[in-house]
Structure 1
Amino acid sequence: MSISPSLLSIDPATRHVSLDGRDPAFYSDPNRVYAALHAQCPTFYWQQQRKWFFTGYDHVNALLRDRSFGRQILHIATREDLGMPAPLPHTRHFDAAEAYSLLELEPPDHTRLRTLVNRAFVSRHVERMKPEIAALSHTLIDRFEKDGEVELLSAFADVIPVTMIARMIGIPEEMGPQLLKWSHAYVRMYMFGRTEADEYAADQAAKEFADYVRSMIAKRRADPQDDLLSHMIHTEHKGQYLTDDELISTTIVLLNAGHEATVHQIGNSVKVILDSDYDPAKLFADEQSTERTVEESLRICAPVHIFQRYALEDVELDGISFKRGDTASLILAAANLDPQKFSDPLTFKPDRKEAPNLSFGAGIHFCIGAPLARLELNIALPILFERLPGLKLAGTPTVKDVYHFHGLDRLDLRW
C-alpha cells in the first residue's frame, strides 16, 4: 500500500522527514511509515518535532544502554545553560508528581528508588499472582460470555491490569475506575499535539492523584500491610527512607505504567491475532506457544513507541553531532520492525526465532513491570480465546489518537 506524499516526505540526502503525527493515516497504522523509513532513512530529523529520531534496532538498543545519554539533564545542567523554557505554571502539580519518577531519574537517585521497588516485580514474586490473574479473567468473561458480543477494552482489557497493579501496591480495587480516569488524563501530557486543555486536565488529575496517594501513605504508615506501598514506606536503603514526594511519584508512575500500556497491548494482541490466518487454539496450545505468540504480538504492535534521551555530553552517533542537552528520540516500535533483524517484519509470525523485541526498553530503564505485563498477557489471552471459540472482529477497530502510545479506542467482538 503506497503512502501519500502529503503524509510522509523523505529527503534521504539530508535525512529530513516531514510527517504529520496527528494524521489518522499515520497513527492508525504506523508500521507502514516505519517500513518506509527503514528503507530510505532509518535515522532522520523529524521536521515537525524538531528532533533526531532513530529506528534502527542496533542504534535503538545501543542508545537505551548508552550512559552518554540519559532520561534527564537538569541534574547536571541548568535550564539557563541549555536555553530551556521555564516550567509552565499551570502544570505545577503534574511536574511535582513527575519530579521523582523512575522513568525520568538518573543514578544515583534512580538506583536508590529502583532498588526499593524492584523486589516486588522480580519474576518469582510476580509468578505468585498467576491464580489471581486467571480467576479475574474467568470472572470477567463470565459476565459477558452469554451475550455473544462484547466491547473488549472496557469489559476485560481495562480491568485486569489496573486491578492487579492496585492489589500489588495496596490500593483498594474499587478505586479502579477512578485510577483509569486519572491515568488517561495524566498520560495526555506525553502525546503529540497535546493542547492547553490537555495540560490543565493532566494537572488537575495529578493533583487529585497525588492527594489520594498521600492519604494512602498516611494510612500505611499508621497500619502497614503486606503490600508494595507499605514496603516502600518502611524499607530503608543505605540508611535512607523514601520521602513522601518520592513515594507519591513512584506510586503514580507504577499505577500508570502498570496498566496503561498493558491495556493497549491486550487489545492490540487480540486484533493482530484475529487479523492473522493463525488458529488461536494452536497459538495457545501450550506455554511455549503462548509465550512465542505474546512476544511476537509485542514486537509487531508495541503499545509504547517512543522514548527520549538527553545527550549528557557532546557525542556523535550515526554521523549526527549531539551537544550536551540535545535530545535523541528512539522509536522502539520501529526498531522491532528493522528488516536487518527480522525477516518479513510487517508480518505476524509467532514461530520467529530472531532478535528479542525492544518493547520494554533496555538498560537501567528497562520496564520494571515487564514480568507482570508478560504474565498478564500469557494468562489472560489464552483464557479469552479458549473460553470464546469462534471469536471474531465485529466491525473495524478504532485506534486511539494517542501517538506515541498505540492502542485501540474500542474493540468490538462477537462469537
Structure 2
Amino acid sequence: MTALPPFLRIDPTSRSVSLDGRDPAFYGDPNRVYAALHEHCPTFYWEEQKQWFFTGYDHVNALLRDRRFGRQILHIASREELGLPEPQPHLANFDLAERYSLLEIEPPEHTRLRTLVNRAFVSRHIERLRPEIAELAETLIDGFEKEGRTELLSSFADIIPVTMIARMIGIPDEIGPQLLKWSHDYVGMYMFKRTREDELAADRSAREFADYVKTLIAERRKAPQEDLLSHMIHTEHKGQYLSDEELVSTTIVLLNAGHEATVHQIGNSVRVILESGLRPADMFRDETATERTVEETLRICAPVHIFQRWALEDVEVDGVSFTRGDKVSLILAAANLDPKKFSDPLVFRPDRQEAANLSFGAGIHFCIGAPLARLELNTVLPILFRRLPCLRMVAMPRVKDVYHFHGLERLDLAW
C-alpha cells in the first residue's frame, strides 16, 4: 500500500477525505493524489468542499451521460425549495453572462443553442484551419528562434488558441490580449476559495466582455460576414433566432472554452514530453504517432480537472444516496488515471492504445471545441519540436495557483 502524502487524509471506511485544494503540494502534482484515491477510496466525500466526488473511470463516464444529473437545477426547482442562496448583487454581470451558457443549460435550450453553433466545430470544417494554424505557429517561432530561449506560454501557447477562436468568431487579432485578460478574470470564478477580489474582477470583466460582444452583434446585424457570429445571428432553428442575451453568453463561452484549456494543454504537453526523456522525433514521426502522443498528453495532464452536476432526482450511485438538488463533482483528470482502465497510469506512454481519455467530457456537454483543440495540438506540437529539436527546460515549470484548472504559469525553454 502506497504511503499517503502528509497533506492528504483518507478514511476508507467512511469514504471521507481531507485535502486542502490550495496546497501547492497538491495542485502542483495532483496525479499522485489521484493515484492514492484510486487505491483507497475512488468515490469520496471531500470534507473541505462538502461534496461527493467520483474518480473512477466508469462512474465518471456514466455520470457525464446520466440524464438524472444535469448542469442546472433551477429549471425544475426554485431556490427556496432547494435552500439555495439568492444571487449576489456584486455578481450580477457575471450571472447575466452565464445565464445562457452552453456549459450551464439543459435541453431543450441547450439543444437549440448547440445545434446552431455545432456545424462550425465539426471536424470536417475545422480541418480547413490546419494551414492557418501551422502558419501562425511558424510565424511565432520565427519571432523567438534566434533568441535561443523563450517563455513558451507568453510567446506561443497563449497566442495560438485565442487567435484562432477569435478569428472563427469574427474578432480582430489585435483584441487577443484583451480577450485573454477578460478570460483569465472570468475563469477566476471557478477557483477553489476564490476571494471577493476575484469575484469583483470576474464581474467587471464579464460586463466589459459583454459590452464588447454587443457592439460586434450590432455590426454583424447590419453587415454580416463569413464568421461564426454572423452565422449565429442570422441562422434560425425551428423558426427561432438567438436573442442578444443568448448570443452574448454563447460568444463568451466559445471564446473562453475555445482557448483557455488549450493554452494550458500546450504547456502541459510540452512539459510532459520533455520530462519523459523520450525522443520527440519518434512521437511525431507521422500522423498516427502524433495523434496518439496528443491523446496521451491529454490523458496524463488534462487541463480541466473537475466537472460538476446537480442531481435532478433522488438517485443512488456507488452506494451513495443523493437527493434532488445535491451537487456532485466528477474528476475527469483522475478518471484518466484509473488503473482499471490504464496500465501503469502514471507513466507517459505515447504509443498507448487503451480507453479513450475523458478530458473533453462526454454526453450532451461533451466539449464542442474538442475538434479545434485536437487540431491545434496535433498541428503546433510537431512544428515546435521540428523547428527546435534541442528544446529543453531551463527552470522548474511553475504551476498556476488554481484548481480545478491545471496549467503552467511559466515554461522557460532554451535550445
TM-score by length of 2: 0.99
Give the Cα–Cα distance (whole angstroms) in 2 for the partners of residues 4 and 325 of structure 1.
Answer: 34
CA shift at 1:115, angstroms? 0.1
Per the alignment, residue 406 of structure 2 pairs with 406
Q: In structure 2, give the amino acid aligned to 1:203.
A: D
Per the alignment, residue 396 of structure 2 pairs with 396
Per the alignment, residue 288 of structure 1 pairs with 288
Alignment of structure 1 residues 52-71 onto 2, 5 Å? 52-71=52-71
Give the Cα–Cα distance (whole angstroms) in 2 for the partners of residues 16 and 76 of structure 1.
Answer: 30
Give the Cα–Cα distance (whole angstroms) in 2 for the partners of residues 25 and 300 of structure 1.
Answer: 18
Per the alignment, residue 5 of structure 2 pairs with 4
Give the Cα–Cα distance (whole angstroms) in 1 for the partners of residues 183 and 251 of structure 2.
Answer: 12
Per the alignment, residue 239 of structure 1 pairs with 239
CA shift at 1:306, angstroms? 0.1
CA shift at 1:260, angstroms? 0.3
Per the alignment, residue 85 of structure 2 pairs with 85
Per the alignment, residue 117 of structure 1 pairs with 117
> Tell me, what secondary structure is at the counterpart of 2:17?
strand
Give the Cα–Cα distance (whole angstroms) in 1 for the partners of residues 289 and 243 of structure 2.
Answer: 44
Per the alignment, residue 31 of structure 1 pairs with 31
Q: In structure 1, give the amino acid aligned to 2:266.
A: I
> Tell me, what secondary structure is at the counterpart of 2:176?
helix
Cα deviation, 1:52-111, whole Å, max 9, x if unaligned, reads 000000000000000000000000000000000111110000000000000000000000
> Tell me, what secondary structure is at the counterpart of 1:333?
helix
Per the alignment, residue 151 of structure 1 pairs with 151
Which structure 1 residue ranges, 5 or more long, are not aligned? none
Per the alignment, residue 353 of structure 1 pairs with 353
TM-score by length of 1: 0.99
Give the Cα–Cα distance (whole angstroms) in 1 for the partners of residues 217 and 278 of structure 2.
Answer: 48
Per the alignment, residue 174 of structure 1 pairs with 174
Per the alignment, residue 226 of structure 2 pairs with 226
1:252 aligns with 2:240: no
CA shift at 1:351, angstroms? 1.1
Alignment of structure 1 residues 133-152 onto 2, 5 Å? 133-152=133-152
> Tell me, what secondary structure is at the counterpart of 1:18?
strand
In angstroms, what is the RMSD of aligned CA positions? 0.7
Per the alignment, residue 199 of structure 1 pairs with 199
Cα deviation, 1:129-174, whole Å, max 9, x if unaligned, reads 0000000000000000000000000000000000000000001111
Give the Cα–Cα distance (whole angstroms) in 2 for the partners of residues 2 and 12 of structure 1.
Answer: 14
Percent of pairs with identical residues: 77
Per the alignment, residue 367 of structure 2 pairs with 367
CA shift at 1:3, angstroms? 4.0
Cα deviation, 1:165-186, whole Å, max 9, x if unaligned, reads 0000001111000000000000
CA shift at 1:328, angstroms? 1.0
> Tell me, what secondary structure is at the counterpart of 1:390?
coil
Give the Cα–Cα distance (whole angstroms) in 2 for the partners of residues 242 and 395 of structure 1.
Answer: 48
> Tell me, what secondary structure is at the counterpart of 1:52?
strand
Cα deviation, 1:348-392, whole Å, max 9, x if unaligned, reads 001111100000000000000000000000000000000001100
Per the alignment, residue 187 of structure 1 pairs with 187
Give the Cα–Cα distance (whole angstroms) in 2 for the partners of residues 407 and 4 of structure 1.
Answer: 22
Per the alignment, residue 385 of structure 2 pairs with 385
Q: In structure 2, give the amino acid aligned to 1:95.
A: D
CA shift at 1:2, angstroms? 4.9
Per the alignment, residue 21 of structure 1 pairs with 21
Q: In structure 2, give the amino acid aligned to 1:173.
A: D
Give the Cα–Cα distance (whole angstroms) in 2 for the partners of residues 222 and 338 of structure 1.
Answer: 52
Give the Cα–Cα distance (whole angstroms) in 2 for the partners of residues 31 and 125 of structure 1.
Answer: 35
> Tell me, what secondary structure is at the counterpart of 1:238?
coil
Per the alignment, residue 48 of structure 1 pairs with 48
Give the Cα–Cα distance (whole angstroms) in 2 for the partners of residues 221 and 146 of structure 1.
Answer: 45
CA shift at 1:4, angstroms? 3.1
CA shift at 1:277, angstroms? 2.0
Per the alignment, residue 97 of structure 1 pairs with 97
Cα deviation, 1:276-310, whole Å, max 9, x if unaligned, reads 02100000000000000000000000000000000
Which structure 2 residue ranges, 5 or more long, are not aligned? none
Q: In structure 2, give the amino acid aligned to 1:93.
A: N
Give the Cα–Cα distance (whole angstroms) in 1 for the partners of residues 174 and 111 of structure 2.
Answer: 33
Q: In structure 2, give the amino acid aligned to 1:143.
A: G
Give the Cα–Cα distance (whole angstroms) in 1 for the partners of residues 252 and 4 of structure 2.
Answer: 39
Give the Cα–Cα distance (whole angstroms) in 1 for the partners of residues 88 and 274 of structure 2.
Answer: 44
Cα deviation, 1:184-219, whole Å, max 9, x if unaligned, reads 000000111100000000000000000000000000
Q: In structure 2, give the amino acid aligned to 1:4.
A: P
Q: In structure 2, give the amino acid aligned to 1:297.
A: T
Give the Cα–Cα distance (whole angstroms) in 2 for the partners of residues 82 and 275 of structure 1.
Answer: 48
